Structure 1
Amino acid sequence: MGVIAMDKKQITLYYSSENSIGKQLNAYVESSGKDNLTIDISKTNVTGTQWAELADGLGKKISELVNTEHPDFKDVYGEDTIDLDDDGWLKILNKYPSFLKNAIVIKGEEYIELTSASDFKQYMDPDSAGIEKPYK
Structure 2
Amino acid sequence: MGVIAMDKKQITLYYSSENSIGKQLNAYVQSSGKEHLTIDISKTNVTGTQWAELAEGLGKDIPDLIAKDLPDFRETYGTDTVNLDNDGWLKILDKNPRFLKNAIVIKGENYIELTSASDYKQYMDPDSAGIEKPYK
TM-score (norm 2): 0.95
SS of residue matched to 2:81: coil
Give 5+ residue unaligned stretches, structure 1.
Answer: none
Residues 13 and 38, structure 1, Cα contact 8 Å, conserved in 2: yes
Which residue is equivalent to 2:87?
A: 87
Q: Give the letter for the 1:72 counterpart.
A: D
Are the aligned partners of 1:66 and 1:93 in contact in 2 as well (CA < 8 Å)? yes
SS of the counterpart of 2:80? coil
TM-score of the superposed pair, with normalisation by structure 1? 0.95
* Deviation for aligned residue 1:132: 2.0
Unaligned runs of at least 5 residues, structure 2: none
Counting matched residue pairs gives 134
> Match of 1:60, SS?
coil
- Determine the C-alpha separation between the residues in 1 that align with 2:90 and 2:124: 30
Query: Which letter does structure 1 place at the counterpart of 2:90?
Result: L
Q: Identity over aligned residues, as a percent?
A: 78
C-alpha displacement of 1:126: 3.7
Distance 1:126 1:31, change over 3 A: same
Aligned-pair Cα RMSD in Å = 1.2
| 3-state SS, counterpart of residue 112 of structure 1 | strand
Conservation of the 8 A alpha-carbon contact between 2:6 and 2:107: yes
Q: Quote the residue 1:132 is aligned against.
A: 131
